[in-house]
Amino acid sequence: MRRIIVTGALGQIGRDLAARLRQLYGCDAVLTTDIRNDQNETALSGPFRLVDVTDGTALYEAAKDHQADTIIHLAALLSAAAETKPMLAWQLNMGGLLNALEAARTLGCKLFTPSSIAAFGSGAPKIGTPQDTMQRPATMYGINKVSGELLCDYYFNKYGIDTRGLRFPGLISYTTPPGGGTTDYAVDMYVSAVKTGKFTSYIGKGTFLDMMYMPDAVESVIKLIEADASRLKHRNAFNVSAMSVDPEAIASSIRRRLPKFKLDYRIDPIRQAIADGWPDAIDASAAREEWDFCVKYDLDKMTDDMLSSLSGMPLYGEKTVN
């Protein structure tokens, strides 16, 4: 049975992931931590501790006291926020990761941390972006992510620490507002569709980006953590995606349920420039081959669930679509 510490656990991924981990491994086995405590369900449903990941001693002590064998490191500044505060992004994204890796090395823990489709950059093929290809990102977030992948490989190769990661696409969910990423527009579109029936997108028509629904993201983290190490040729980090969509595709999917939904555009040049540097559609075949990655939600199924859930009527289904 695992004993897990999660950093940044009150964020968009952490809240859904911690709930699922507690279901699987037991409430007391999962210590959630964050720099803040807003007394939400994650902090209240099991052990919680305030931990600033830039404080290496605090992170180490929390993992040690919990007798953790697995560190899930989520605390980070996301793409759009990182572009407005690049120095903070470097300190948090690189300093926090280094502290988590050092805690893993000292305590002999396994470590999972997400990378992102931001780790590629405009030199990589935009369609069918391979698992192994040129990675030369131009944003601070992308630079942090590719450096983080290399650092995790280094700890595996030099110290034998079992590091694993996923290059997440934009993640869509309804339980927690997203934390300053470029693909947040998609979540905002669903929320606005339900609340007002219209949305002004800051990402342009025809800008295709990879996305995935949060229940699939959560299951892929757990599947990778539990994957047989002898099958893994890659580690940090696997391409994963469920769909490649632009704002019009999401709007069309919403209109199946809300025919009067209106979409218009006011482009944010900063977030559009970030999106333009990312792949349109990545190739997730390495994840499928090495640890049986699969998803349950395509665009329409995700839309149905988002709209129902946002209207207070959850509707989870079971069918696998890839």
- Residues with catalytic function: 141
CB of 218 to ligand NAD, least distance (A): 11
CB of 204 to ligand NAD, least distance (A): 19
CA distance 242 to 234: 20
Largest interatomic CA distance in the chain: 57
CA distance 115 to 103: 19
What does the DSSP 8-state code read for residue 83? H
CA distance 44 to 38: 10
For ligand NAD, which is the closer residue by CB, 41 or 264?
A: 41
CB of 114 to ligand NAD, least distance (A): 4
Measured torsion, CA atoms of residues 114, 36, 50, 188, in degrees rounded to the nearest 10: -30
Q: How many residues does the chain have?
A: 322
Pull the structure tokens for residue 157: 């190769």
Which of 46, 114, 137, 142 is in the footprint of ligand NAD by CB under 6 A?
Answer: 114
Residues in 15-54 at the binding interface with ligand NAD, rule: CB under 6 A: 34-36, 51-54
Residues in 53-112 at the binding interface with ligand NAD, rule: CB under 6 A: 53-54, 74-76, 78, 92
> How many chain residues are in contact with ligand NAD, going by CB under 6 A?
28
For ligand NAD, which is the closer residue by CB, 114 or 162?
A: 114
Nearest-CA neighbor of 172 among 298, 82, 19, 279?
298
Residues in 115-174 at the binding interface with ligand NAD, rule: CB under 6 A: 116, 168, 170-171
For ligand NAD, which is the closer residue by CB, 92 or 250?
A: 92
What DSSP string describes 41-76? HHHHSS-EEE--TT-HHHHHHHHHHTT-SEEEE---
5 binds ligand NAD (CB under 6 A): no
For ligand NAD, which is the closer residue by CB, 81 or 310?
A: 81
193 in Cβ contact with 185 (< 8 Å): no
Site string for ligand NAD, 221-260 (x = CB under 6 A): ----------------------------------------
Q: Is the dihedral of CA 102, 121, 220, 78 positive or negative?
A: positive
Residues linked to residue 316 through DSSP beta bridges, in sequence order: none
Residues in 262-301 at the binding interface with ligand NAD, rule: CB under 6 A: none
Residues that bind ligand NAD (CB under 6 A): 7-8, 10-14, 34-36, 51-54, 74-76, 78, 92, 114, 116, 168, 170-171, 178-179, 181, 183
